[in-house]
Chain A
Amino acid sequence: MDRKNILKWLKEPGKMGHKYSLWAVYFCTGCGIIEVPPTITSQWDAERFGVIPVATPRQANLFMITGYVSVKTLKAIIRTYEQMPEPKYTVAFGSCPINGGMYWDSYNTIKHIDKYIPIDGWIAGCMPRPEAIFIGVTKLWMMIDKGAATGYIRYRKNYKFYRRNQEKLFGKLPWPPLYPVDEKENKNG
């Protein structure tokens, strides 16, 4: 906390609150979750940045997708993401969610995660070290400051396209749409 920030706090308490209190949902996909325990415990201590893991998506506003995403996991990811309260930020972690990584020709692994849910930031590497997570978090702070972390707004705006992509993969989804989907346009586009 900087003393220079006090004016910012008085001006935009909401934005600063989102910035300095990122609660990450404890969702483990793939091997990247191995990097998270050293990040949140004594060695690298993420709590000094206000980043703590929470057990339920209702309380979280940061979603870290750690490692490769199989088709079945993607379903759980979408459900978790839609349960999180707005504003919410997603960070894809490792090279597998970016383009498939070493699973680029696997029959059951998602290649580009941003086709199904919006992603605010990417951390490349296989695996990225905990320092990379902190650099990612500070980049996310800058994005929130500038108002560039708009993943949830894009999701609301383009929901029918995201939903269409999800349904291409899963067939009919068992849960109702989060935002209203215009049926006519969906058929044409």
Chain B
Amino acid sequence: MDEELKRKIEKIYKDTEVEFPERNRMVVKTKKASILSILEFLKREGFRQLKAISCVDWIKECEFELIYHLAPLNSPLHIMVKIRIERKNAETETILKIFENAKVYEREIHELFGVKFKGNPDLSPLFLENWHDLPPFRKDFDTRKYVKKTFDEIPSVEDRNERT
């Protein structure tokens, strides 16, 4: 089944590479433009479950890698569809029309990496509170500096009492 699927994908989408890094794992590397159609194709093939969307920051190559994890309900095959987007002005199409549960994943990635998803109606902050800095999961975000800037700046109330 796996080889058959590989042949099908490579036949329809010319600029995609399909690999099998280990048993029951399949990696589909594709371009940003064809993500919607390839996801739709895979959904029609039986991969009806979007497990997660993850994001990797490749800072040396100036690119984000978005990984869509798909799984069918009846076989152990796990598909990772990978696309690369530019780090500057990072934005891509939302996949809400195909998988509705992508809403929260996209919201989270937008908050933690700053990737914009065109067409997602709700990209408001999910975890962070009163955040004005760089998105925290980017590689060029300095946590230690941020901690010094925000948390260590706040004075202790009890010590103030002892001094006076």
Judge A-B direct contact (beta carbons within 8 Å). yes
**Residues on A close to B: CB < 8 A?**
70-72, 75, 104-108, 110-112, 114-115, 118, 154, 158, 161-162, 165, 168-171
* A165/B157 contact (C-beta < 8 A), A107-B147, A108-B136, A111-B151 known: yes
Among B131-155, those with CB < 8 Å from A are 136, 141, 143-144, 146-147, 150-155
Task: Known pairs A118-B158, A161-B160; list 17 more (Cβ under 8 Å).
Answer: A70-B127, A71-B130, A72-B127, A104-B147, A105-B143, A105-B147, A108-B128, A111-B151, A115-B154, A118-B157, A154-B157, A158-B160, A161-B155, A165-B154, A168-B153, A168-B154, A169-B130
Q: Which of B141, B153, B154, B157 contacts A158 (CB 8 A)?
A: B157
The yes or no answer to B45 lying at the interface (CB within 8 A) is: no
Q: Is B74 an interface residue (CB 8 A)?
A: no
CB pair A162 B151 closer than 8 Å: no
* Chain B: CB-nearest residue to A157: B161
Chain B 38-61, CB-CB to A under 8 Å as 1, else 0, gives 000000000000000000000000
Residue pair B144, A105 in contact (C-beta under 8 Å): yes
Q: Is the CB of A114 within 8 A of B151?
A: no
A158 to B127, CA, bound (A): 29
Expressed in whole angstroms, the Cα–Cα distance for A82 and B127 within the complex equals 23
Pick the 10 closest A-B CB pairs, nearest first. A71-B129, A171-B130, A111-B151, A161-B157, A107-B136, A105-B144, A107-B143, A165-B154, A105-B143, A158-B157
Chain B residues near A108: list those with CB within 8 A: 127-128, 136
| The one of A106, A110, A112, A114 that contacts B143, using a Cβ cutoff of 8 Å | A106
Question: What DSSP secondary structure best describes chain B's contact surface?
Answer: loop
In the complex, the answer to whether A170 meets B130 with C-beta atoms within 8 Å is yes
Contact B154 A169, beta carbon cutoff 8 Å: yes
25 sample A-B contacts, Cβ–Cβ < 8 Å, listed by A number: A70-B127, A71-B128, A106-B147, A107-B136, A107-B147, A108-B127, A111-B151, A111-B152, A112-B151, A112-B156, A114-B156, A114-B157, A115-B154, A115-B157, A118-B157, A154-B157, A154-B161, A158-B157, A158-B160, A161-B157, A162-B157, A165-B154, A165-B157, A169-B154, A171-B130
- In Å, the complex CA distance between A118 and B155 comes to 14
The answer to whether A72 and B157 have CB atoms under 8 Å apart is no
**Please, how many angstroms separate the alpha-carbon atoms of A164 and B158 in the complex?**
14
What is the minimal beta-carbon distance from A72 to any residue of chain B, in angstroms?
5
> Which chain B residues border A171 with CB–CB below 8 Å?
130
- Residue pair B143, A165 in contact (C-beta under 8 Å): no
Docked complex Cα distance between A162 and B156 (Å): 9
Are the CB atoms of B130 and A115 closer together than 8 Å?
Answer: no
Question: In whole angstroms, what is the CA distance A75 to B129 when docked?
Answer: 10
Chain B residues with CB under 8 A of A75: 129
Chain A residues with Cβ below 8 Å from B127 are 70, 72, 108
Give the distance in Å from the alpha carbon of A162 to the alpha carbon of B154 in the complex: 10
Q: How far is the CA of A71 from the CA of B147 in the complex (A)?
A: 12
Q: What 1/0 mask marks residues of chain B from 107 to 124 whose CB sits below 8 Å from any chain A CB?
A: 000000000000000000
Which A residues lie within 8 Å of B153 (CB)?
A: 168
For B129, the closest partner residue in chain A by CB is A71
Query: What distance in Å separates the Cβ of A50 from its nearest Cβ neighbour in chain B?
Result: 28
A75 CA / B143 CA spacing, docked (Å):
22
| Complexed CA–CA distance, A30 and B103 (Å) | 26
B143 to chain A, nearest CB (A): 5
